[in-house]
Amino acid sequence: MSRTHSSVAIIGSGPAGLTAAVYAARANLAPVVFAGHLYGGQLMLTTEVENYPGFPQGIMGPELMENFRLQAERFGAVLHFVDVTKVDFSQQPFRLWTEDDEFSADTVIVATGASARWLDVPHEARLRGRGVSTCATCDGAFFREKHIVVVGGGDSAMEEALFLTRFGKKVTVIHRRASFRASKIMADRVLAHDKIDVIWNSEVTEVLGAEKTEGLGLRNIETGETSTIDADALFIAIGHDPNTAMFQGQLDLDPMGYISSPDGVTTNIPGVFVAGDVFDVRYKQAITAAGSGCKAALEVEKYLEAHEAEHASALV
Ligand code: NAP
């Protein structure tokens, strides 16, 4: 097993990780990016991105991430398309393992993101980007005057349903119980909205449609009765899971498993920084993730400079 050292290791290759890579590379820090087997993050699962500034005609999610990657590589970032399997942040230099190799780094930027939960029902994966989505902000505008379904009963589902009333001719919320988990104020707004209907005690059993979403199979959980409804879009808002399993016991996590960061960039371990959805429960946008990647790289630069100065004065 070989071991390679770098001044900065970036774990994750979504907008946060790759923006951090661009900034760290331009600061001559030769960052090593652990991009994962599935590089690019959640935008690789999106079709057209219309709200990333700089692309007035919109851009496809995978193409945008390819541009991020090329920009980072242009300035010398080295990408490894492997997953980090284990880290040890208990001593300097920090250590990181992939399946075949071991690495060490003076600083680490954790940008492993969060994964939207999916329903895991037939044809959901096939129709992703063709009516099935986990991001109303990204995809809502494609369904003007259409019938839009939202699944979920938490604040995210309420927020998405309310947002989607701007586009859809009708929005139907499907929830598996008879009351919402969401805060009362959000739930009340949904219940009072004249464009929104709610189907209670029901689950989506399959997505229907050949080329695009055309309907949904439903099952009433109480009665077991099955039915279908017509739908042009299905927005799944049943929560996200932060990708933090390997940091348990190493970094402070909040009760939902997100990395705790009082200022949105540092962690409880000096020299380990955070960027993007892995700490950001609230905004979860590509542009906010990119911004936080930039912040993390600038903090890494300051941290390394301060430590170099400390080291130099210790040698005098
Ligand atoms: P959440 O509160 O965990 O709610 C997830 C919802 O999805 C629940 O209603 C749950 O049903 C349902 N669900 C989970 N798995 C499901 C499955 N397999 N099939 C069908 N339904 C399923 O998640 P969230 O709404 O993403 O919110 C996460 C956190 O962010 C919360 O603390 C929330 O308050 C906060 N947040 C706040 C705002 C705001 O204040 N504006 C906006 C968004 C999020 P059950 O209820 O039956 O468990």
What pLDDT sits at residue 2? 53
- Examine the residue annotation and report whether 294 is marked as an active-site residue of this protein: no
Residue 288 CA, ligand 1 centroid: distance in Å: 21
What pLDDT sits at residue 66? 97
What pLDDT sits at residue 82? 96
Q: Which atom of ligand 1 is nearest to the CA of 239?
A: 26
What pLDDT sits at residue 316? 56
Among residues 139, 232, 277, 280, the one annotated as catalytic is: 139
What pLDDT sits at residue 50? 84
Q: Which atom of ligand 1 is nearest to the CA of 119?
A: 18
Q: Which of 134, 158, 181 has most ligand 1 atoms within 8 Å of CB, for mutation?
A: 181
Residues 204, 210, 213, 218, Cα dihedral to 10°: -20
Phi, psi of 242 (to 5 degrees): -65, 145
Q: Which residues pair with residue 220 across a beta bridge?
A: 202
CA distance linking residue 61 with residue 51, whole number of Å: 11
Give me the domains of the chain, ranges plus CATH numbers. 3-116+240-315 (3.50.50.60), 132-236 (3.50.50.60)
Q: Which of 120, 132, 155, 221 has most ligand 1 atoms within 8 Å of CB, for mutation?
A: 155
pLDDT tens string, the chain, 316 residues long: the values are 456 999 999 999 999 999 999 999 999 999 999 999 889 998 887 777 888 999 999 999 999 999 999 999 999 999 999 999 999 999 999 999 999 999 999 999 999 999 989 999 999 999 999 999 998 988 999 999 999 999 999 988 999 999 999 999 999 999 999 999 999 999 999 999 999 999 999 999 999 999 999 999 999 999 999 999 999 999 999 988 999 999 999 999 999 999 999 999 999 999 999 999 999 988 989 999 999 999 999 999 999 999 987 766 666 5
Among residues 83, 101, 138, 280, the one annotated as catalytic is: 138
| Residues in the ligand 1 pocket, defined by CB under 6 Å | 119, 151-157, 159, 176-177, 181, 203, 238-239, 281
What pLDDT sits at residue 315? 60
What pLDDT sits at residue 181? 96
Sign of CA dihedral 13, 241, 183, 235: positive
Asked whether the beta carbons of 20 and 293 are under 8 A apart, the reply is yes
